[in-house]
Chains A and B, each alone.
Chain A
Amino acid sequence: MTEANTDHALIASPQRRALLARTAMLSTTAMALLSGVSLRSLAATPRDEQTGSDVAILNVALGLEHEGIAAYEIGAGTGLLSKPLLSVAVLFKGHHEGHREVLAGAIEKLGGTPVQPRSLAEYKASSKLDIGSIATAEDILRLAQRLELGAINAYLGVMPSFADRSLSKVAGRLIADETLHYTVLSQSLGQPLPQNTLSFGA
Chain B
Amino acid sequence: MRLSLLAAVIALACVTAAPGADPARGKALYDARCGGCHTIAENGPGPRHQGLFGCRAGTQPGYAYSEALRVSGIVWNDAMLDRWLADPNALVPGNAMVVQLAPLATERVDLIAFLRTAAQGPRTCRRSNAPTP
Whether the Cβ atoms of A53 and B102 lie closer than 8 Å is: no
Across the interface, which residues of B come within 8 angstroms of A67, CB to CB?
A: 44
Does B14 touch A at the CB level, under 8 Å? no
Instruction: Please give, as numbers and ranges, the residues of chain A lying within 8 Å of B99 by CB-CB distance.
Output: 154, 157-158, 161
The answer on a CB contact under 8 Å between B39 and A153 is no
- Asked if A150 contacts B42 (CB within 8 A), the reply is no
Q: A157-B101, A158-B98 are in contact. Are A128 and B32 (CB under 8 A)?
A: no
Give which listed residue, A53, A126, A150, contacts B98 with CB less than 8 A.
Answer: A53
B26-74 interface with A by 8 A CB criterion: 31-33, 35-37, 39, 41-42, 44-45
Q: Are A161 and B35 in contact (CB under 8 A)?
A: no
Q: Does A64 contact B (CB under 8 A)?
A: yes
A22–B132 Cα distance when bound, in Å, is: 39
Whether B100 is near chain A, meaning CB under 8 Å from some CB there, is yes
| Interface of A (DSSP majority class) | helix
Question: For residue A127, which residues in chain B have a CB less than 8 angstroms away from its CB?
Answer: 39, 41-42
**Does B103 lie at the interface of the complex (its beta carbon under 8 Å from any beta carbon of A)?**
yes
For chain B, the count of residues having a C-beta within 8 Å of the partner chain is 20
Contact residue among A126, A151, A161 (Cβ-Cβ distance under 8 Å from B36): A151
Partner of B32, one of A53, A64, A150: A150
Number of A-B contacts (CB under 8 A): 55
A60 touches B45 (CB 8 A): yes
The size of the chain A interface, using a CB distance under 8 A, is 21
CB distance from B60 to the nearest CB of A (A): 15
> How near does chain B come to A171, taking the closest CB pair, in angstroms?
12
Given the interface contacts A64-B36, A153-B32, does A202 sit within 8 Å of B100 by beta carbon?
yes
User: Which residues in A have some Cβ–Cβ distance to B below 8 Å?
Assistant: 53, 56-57, 60, 63-64, 67, 126-128, 146-147, 149-151, 153-154, 157-158, 161, 202
Which B residues are closer than 8 A to A by beta carbons?
31-33, 35-37, 39, 41-42, 44-45, 96, 98-104, 107
22 contacts between A and B (CB under 8 A): A53-B98, A57-B98, A63-B44, A64-B36, A64-B37, A126-B44, A128-B39, A128-B44, A149-B31, A149-B32, A149-B35, A150-B32, A153-B36, A153-B101, A154-B37, A154-B99, A157-B98, A157-B99, A161-B99, A202-B101, A202-B102, A202-B104
